[in-house]
Amino acid sequence: MERRFGKVAVLKGGVSSERAISLRSGAAVAQGLRDGGHEVVEVDIVSRDFSIPEGVKAVFIALHGEFGEDGEIQQVLVGMGLPFTGSGAESSRVSFDKVLTRERLAANGIPIPRGEVLKSSGDRTIPVPLVVKPPREGSSVGIHIVSSEAGWEAAFADAVRFSGEVLVEEYIPGRELTVGILEQESGVGSQGSGGGEWNVESGGEDLGRAARSEIIFGTKIETEGNASRTQGAQEQTAGGPPAVRGRQDAGDTLQVLPVVEIEPAAEWYDYEAKYVTGETLYTVPAALDAETLAELQSIAVETFRCLEAEGFGRVDFRLSPEGKPYVLELNAIPGFTATSLLPKAAETAGIGFSELCCRIMELAARNA
């Protein structure tokens, strides 16, 4: 297959606390692109002073954290005149910052946990149990669930060292879920084995820029997660969320991927559960009723649009025991490792890993 870009670079590694994960993501993406017919050069970013090899026509950003997801490297690539994958600089800056993300989501009526930003541990008003987060880190780095007052000071001290302030949120008991989104050029469907799509009119639901568009879901199949448990798919039909026109001037659409449920063996989905232990259970699609699945996917689309994301992304949720969803964050450059969530959801939708990487790569032209 002839590709839009001849020679592409995959940026991996980086200078953030997530460097090790980025190296793994970048290596996997590079192989996926090669399998899809791209000529690929891998660039290990070890400082902000870097160069792109001659002949490279576009860049796949597989950098997590600072100088990867925060808009800085996007701005550098704009200056170089190189197309790149994912969201633009300003959208990346906002979505990487949990405080700015919360402000944007709240202003648009998207449900989020109650929270506050603190520079001193003595100023807290939210009672335990609670969650402490550095505002600008990813992969659960520096995040703590505090179940009693005895653990508060140590959790605050660890989180505050990253940037001098912390985000404190109420702890939402319940289920951990995530929804992946892929932007695609109009008329371009999945070519994966068992793949396919179907479109349904939304019935004119009012979702801001997402209103009165198409619903696009990947074909549902059963796949095995990181551990040995699978669940059958819930039927997703016409009362589901509006999938949406992408940028209206480009005539694009969003493909909303199946909802993934994450069940870590330990108390919560921390760094170890994500990348080390191999004991986390992933259920794709999540075993939820059709109405809840539709609500999660619809809110994911609203979040993606509200933060003006592009290309692809993943929206993380907590679902309370009463069935109320809360958005935690948008991951503008989610992981691409063997245990990563976006590739799992895409596979369930019939989109193989190589095709996933190539589809994202082809969309880089918009950021030229």
Q: Which residues are catalytic?
A: 18, 139, 275, 314, 316, 329, 331, 335
Q: Which residues pair with 127 in a beta bridge?
A: none
- Measured in residues, the chain has a length of 368
Residue 219 φ then ψ, to 5°: -60, 140
* Residue 330 contacts residue 304 (beta carbons within 8 Å): yes
Residues 6+ apart with CB under 8 A from 288: 234, 259, 261, 296, 319
Residues 6+ apart with CB under 8 A from 22: 12, 13, 14, 16, 62, 63, 64, 65, 68
Tokens 């950003």 locate to 61
The two three-digit tokens of residue 20, written as one number: 């090790």
Closest among 134, 139, 137 to 157, alpha carbons compared:
134
Q: How far is CA 323 from the centre of its chain?
A: 22
Closest among 259, 360, 352 to 314, alpha carbons compared:
259
